[in-house]
Structure 1
């Protein structure tokens, strides 16, 4: 299915014309209350049904590009204008009632999408429409696959069951996400448990009158605590609470999701959900995924076991024993000690090198030079006073390309991870310019080096949408194969690892301590320390995801305990990580492998820049050949066109082994 609800993208209301003039600056609708959101959502759904009626009324013999394919894209645009601002604000709006209304709107849009793609009359008209060129042909293929995946060709009883399953699966995924997002539980640690925590951390968390602290589960609170708190019992308590925060209610949802996805695959006489999902992706089938994961396992697992041994020895030395067992709540703490010992790297201390908001200036300056862009601050309505907005223009022509919102800092009820929401798509046919919203939870004073990578990653997603030059909105930006969508963003993380790019921080922050070549070498060496355990964990996530999508899926918690127990760190009885695994409760089911698959493509594409990541000729070529084409060209063809050869995973496996310089 194309996924009005599953893709983080939304759009605006324009009649389509072959040579429409670009609109003036668009903006995200900011809803003052739930009633306003509900009205906008209902209007958009009603308008989409009317648009579908017009397509359905076209005689099959007259079906063509203008009255069917382009008309469908126009319907998509008009629907997105109402639905995707609501989708965004289900994740970021300060008012819980608005967030809840946004979730209801997402579910209503999903029901409509299923209804449209199960409509036999609409399917016949799309099938009858003769494409005029390759772009039209790709749009037609995309739509026909969405019809098939929604069950239009199934016998009536199976089609009805598919509709019920798809709607229920979407509802369960939204509830799973909401349970995590709306979790406002906190932990209190006494003053006696705070040894080792940096002063800057203690200054930014909630302090209590008795000298203790109160913390929640946002990343800026959890990860620094785990890396620095010397009290192992406190780390264990926080770890258990963090991995159990989804609770039994999310485990129950995951069990039902697993069962329903398996039933959905069975309606198509497919062995399992992995076959249903991967047939539309670069890999093509589950066997290709499993072969890839075996290669990752062979490369990384022996290194991960060796790394656990190194950290366990460090723990034994610190606690004064001959041997010690490394526990999951010890990993980040002793990795941090090892970084400090070997390379004099302290992630928390790095925040003074990467201060906010100067890092925003640096990220945008890099993107401007790399992709020939210009960013201009402007005042527009926003949903929170910490949100900022930029017009994005082509640096050469001055043409307006799109809008970028930055929602960078944590607050109660906000989406707790990092994501780029493509809330409005591009369409040259409609003269339509896109909007992206970058959502993170950064510390206001500054970033760690890992967070610098995250910032670049998410800006990569945002720009993938903003520089789109696709004819149709349904192909805009990140609307590409799931196992390719991360590649342009993962590629951009490399700009956080090179002297020539990090030295440019001095341009936006002359008083910052210099990020010189010697520091960059230490940063990269320290980063390579955690590669074995990082990729071993990614391998675990991917294998678990594929296990739940297998031909005979096991119980989610039983499968997790067995798979995690086989890793170097083992499983901790009483912990329930699957209840927090929002990726596979949502659109990444049978797709988590895509993070590593995409990274293999990303690191291969980085090689095109050679020794100069700021080579503008390569950056502009990447913008034109890959980013601007979105999904109107198959992902494999985009990669081949940019590399001028077949992709190779050599750089990725060097990275996995910690050998890539």
Structure 2
């Protein structure tokens, strides 16, 4: 087996269209066999369906990636059309009563536990697709699924492409880092162009001493996607509710939660309240410090808002914790951070990253073949696409290019981020480690027999936990010393890292409550439809922000309009905090004095990461911890 032979960027559209039709032909061939002469043997049937799911993934994975990263608009649009076509076909298969009957007739007797799990998952999928419903209901479900695919693509396109710009005079850039200023040249008309992409938006919000510039940037950032995405989201929420009720669930959150660790939709607001309550005192303590420092500069301004929070959190960290983010960033040049990330993760999990020159979709992309250090076995290939450009996905995420299946194909994954090319904020470094955790999960769990369990195939409210745990290595002084360096070549001092950690601890109450605002918005936007009381999304957002967030609504803004997680995560944004609870428990098993201890890292790799979806996430975690996961580690961390 070898990784994919990707085409030159200019040939991607033709390559993807040909690949899609070849793979979809396999899907149709297997489906036809189940309709006309289904395999009577359960194991044979599962292997055939595995071939179908592998082929379907071989279309969906690359088209979903390329629709978000390819520089050519026609290629992106062609990939979106292929996704719609593929999802339409899969919806039809999920409601095919002849195929369902073939699987329902199979006996799990004699199957090994993993094959039996696969059969059970297939049957659950069919039932959740409405296979047992009358024809008119199945027809309506097909319409809904097709429309939801289109709406999700529309929402992604809006949030990806709506990059706003500010044009300002150079004198307004006071407080900005020198290297950042040098990278923003004054144009012929005497102005400097700034965008709402992260490499501009985050530094301006954090460092700009011109408050009006911060306000313009924050407002522009929060207005992305408005007003175009509101009707898209409103229709999406309504159709999700209709879909759920057609397959006998009371609402979308219940339908969505039924296959997650949390189990029930009603448990979501309970969890949100639990975290909000635990974070109330830490948030109040953090905000009192922030408000006092803000009022010292602007005593007549009233309560601090989102215009000033990032700036004054930086002021507090600089003045009270002796952490100067502009000094910190001098230790994190992008090239050293990327190399350090590979060194750290390679050492931790026994891997070797070998650079390879292969055709890719853009010159920014760096590709690596991944080997097991001890045996030199090729595990797969990764691609790092880490800088912003027009038409590219504007957040940070791991995309699959190919799901690994033993004896059939190697796993191949892509990290898509938007980092500066020069010096990085430490928050960027943490984000890079986090997203790379997903890539590791995809890679290490891509060597089993069943495509269904390959890669990040666990319950969706667990998938963030391994990535959140890997962030801990980006906070360890000894780890950072191995790859950081300022202009003089000196690594970041351990005492500075300790101050950074203390400064980060200061803001965790604020962060937890901000996350609960997002989680509440994700849940209630959906649940309000079920309750028969859908409200104007802006009004509901303002209400939830007042209830959960550390700061009030900034008048005139509509942050939900670009909150991309309303697409993929739907009602389940609680996932990030649910996963963090588990991540803190997982990390409690590591020795802070030796984060590279091979025995514990190896157990974690083999019992959690490498298993993919072969067990329920709670069981994977219990295998590693030797007990069920607990809230205790998170609660202790939040309270201290």
Structure-1-length-normalised TM-score: 0.92
1:233 maps to 2:212:
yes
Indicate yes or no: 2:563 matched with 1:589: no
State yes or no: 1:332 paired with 2:310. Answer: yes
Give the 3 Å change call, closer, same or farther, for CA 511–368 of structure 1 in structure 2. Answer: farther
1:7-26 equivalences under 5 Å are 23-26=1-4
- The 5 A counterparts of 1:580-659 are 580-584=562-566, 586-611=567-592, 612-657=594-639, 659=640
Cα shift readout 1:93-147 (whole Å, capped 9, x = no counterpart): 1111111111111111111110111111111222233341111112112222221
Give the aligned partner of residue 415 of structure 2. 438
Whether 1:462 and 2:439 are equivalent positions in the alignment is: yes
RMSD over equivalenced CA pairs, Å? 1.9
SS for the counterpart of 1:374 is strand
**In structure 2, distance between residues paired with 1:180 and 1:291:** 30
User: Against the structure 1 CA distance between its residues 25 and 544, is the aligned structure 2 distance closer, same or farther, given a 3 Å change threshold?
Assistant: closer
Q: 2-side partners of 1:371 and 1:458: how far apart?
A: 16
* Distance (whole Å) between structure 1 residues aligned to residue 620 and residue 60 of structure 2: 30
Q: Do 1:110 and 1:170's aligned partners in 2 also have CA atoms closer than 8 Å?
A: yes
Q: Which ranges in structure 2 are unaligned for 5 or more consecutive residues?
A: none
Q: Distance in 2 between matches of 1:133 and 1:239?
A: 55
Match of residue 21 from structure 2: 42
Matches of residues 350-365 of structure 1 in structure 2 within 5 Å?
Answer: 350-365=328-343
- Tell me whether 383-392 or 430-439 shows the greater mean CA deviation: 430-439
CA distance in 2, matches of 1:531, 1:377: 37
- Report the alpha carbon displacement of residue 375 of structure 1 after superposing the two structures with TM: 1.1
Return the alpha-carbon distance in structure 1 between the equivalents of residues 477 and 389 of structure 2: 34
Does the residue aligned with 1:415 lie in a helix, a strand or coil? coil
1:619 & 1:59 partners in 2: Cα distance? Answer: 44
Cα displacement string for residues 62-95 of structure 1 (whole angstroms, at most 9, x for unaligned residues): 14212x2111111122233333222211111111
Residue 534 of structure 2 aligns with which residue? 554
1:509 Cα deviation after fit: 8.8
Determine which of 133, 151, 154 is the counterpart of 2:130.
151
Task: For residue 511 of structure 1, report the CA deviation from its aligned partner.
Answer: 5.3
State the shift of 1:380 in Å: 1.1
Question: Residue 526 of structure 1: CA displacement?
Answer: 1.2
Residue 448 of structure 1 deviates from its aligned partner by 1.5
Query: Structure 2 CA distance, aligned partners of 1:292 and 1:554?
Result: 22
Change (3 A) 1:651 1:109: same
Which stretch has the larger CA shift, 443-452 or 204-213?
Answer: 204-213
1:174-189 equivalences in 2 (<5 Å): 174-189=153-168
* C-alpha distance after superposition, 1:158-208 (max 9, x if no partner): 221111112111210110110121224322122342222222222223532
Shift, 1:302, TM fit: 3.3
Instruction: Out of 263-272 and 448-457, give the one that drifted further.
Output: 263-272
* Counterpart for residue 370 of structure 1: 348
What's the CA shift for 1:29? Answer: 5.0
Larger deviation, residues 261-270 vs 342-351: 342-351
2:505 is equivalent to residue 525 of structure 1 = no
Q: Which moved more, 1:98-107 or 1:40-49?
A: 40-49
Describe the superposition over 1:340-394 as per-residue Cα deviations: whole angstroms up to 9, x where unpaired.
1122323343222121211112111111111111111111111111211111111
> Residues 280-326 of structure 1, C-alpha deviation per residue, up to 9 Å, x if partnerless?
1001002322222122111113332343332222122123x367321
Say if 1:627 and 1:197 are closer, same or farther in 2 by CA, change over 3 A. same
SS of the residue aligned with 2:459?
coil
**Can you list the C-alpha shifts for 1:414-445, whole angstroms capped at 9, x where unaligned?**
111111112111222x3421001111111111
Pick closer, same or farther for the CA change 1:323–1:103 going to 2, 3 Å: closer
CA drift of 1:38 comes to 3.0
417 and 338 in structure 1: CA distance in 2 versus 1, 3 angstrom threshold: same
Match of 1:544 among 517, 521, 544: 521
| Whole-angstrom distance in 2 between the partners of 1:348 and 1:415 | 27
Aligned to 2:478: 500
2:229 maps to: 250
**Any residues of structure 2 matched to 1:459-498 within 5 Å, and which?**
459-468=436-445, 469-498=447-476
Q: How does 1:199-218 map to 2 (within 5 A)?
A: 199-205=178-184, 207-218=186-197
C-alpha distance in 2 between matches for 1:463 and 1:476: 12
Q: Report whether the alignment pairs 1:166 with 2:145.
A: yes
- With the length of structure 2 as denominator, give the TM-score of the two structures: 0.95
Find the partner of 1:571 among 553, 556, 567: 553
Answering whether residue 365 of structure 2 is matched by residue 383 of structure 1, we say no
Residue 82 of structure 1, aligned match among 53, 59, 83: 59
Whether the 8 Å CA contact 2:43–2:115 is kept in 1: the answer is yes
C-alpha distance after superposition, 1:516-536 (max 9, x if no partner): 321121110111122121111
State the match for 2:50 in structure 1: 73
Alpha-carbon shift at residue 265 of structure 1 (Å): 1.7
CA change 1:86–1:265 in 2 (3 A) is: closer
CA contact (8 A) 1:251 1:557 kept: no
Measure how far apart 1:34 and its partner are: 3.4
Rounded Cα–Cα distance in structure 2 between residues aligned with 1:256 and 1:499: 48
From 397, 409, 427, the counterpart of 2:405: 427
Secondary structure at the counterpart of residue 570 of structure 2? coil
Residue of structure 1 in register with 2:387 after alignment: 409
C-alpha spacing 1:140/1:29, structure 2 compared with 1 (3 Å): farther
In the TM superposition, what whole-angstrom CA distance separates every residue of 1:231-280 from its partner, at most 9, and x where no partner exists?
A: 22221122111111111110111111111111112213322111110011
- Distance in 1 between residues matched to 2:386 and 2:515, nearest whole Å: 25
User: Aligned runs of 1:288-299 on 2, under 5 Å?
Assistant: 288-299=267-278
Residue 173 of structure 2 is aligned to residue 194 of structure 1: yes
Deviation per CA, 1:461-508: give whole Å up to 9, x if none: 1111111232211211101100011111111001011223222226x9
**Which of 62, 82, 98 is equivalent to 1:105?**
82
- Contact 1:65/1:130, CA 8 A, preserved across alignment: no
Residue of 35, 46, 49 corresponding to 1:56: 35
SS at match of 1:251: helix
Among residues 274, 279, 296, which one is paired with 2:258 in the alignment?
Answer: 279
Checking the alignment, whether the CA contact within 8 Å between 1:378 and 1:390 is kept in structure 2 is yes
DSSP 3-state at the match of 2:227: helix
Match of 1:399 among 363, 377, 386: 377
Deviation per CA, 1:613-660, whole angstroms, max 9, x where unpaired? Answer: 111111111111111110111111100001010111222223333x2x
Report runs of 4+ in structure 1 exceeding 6 Å deviation.
none
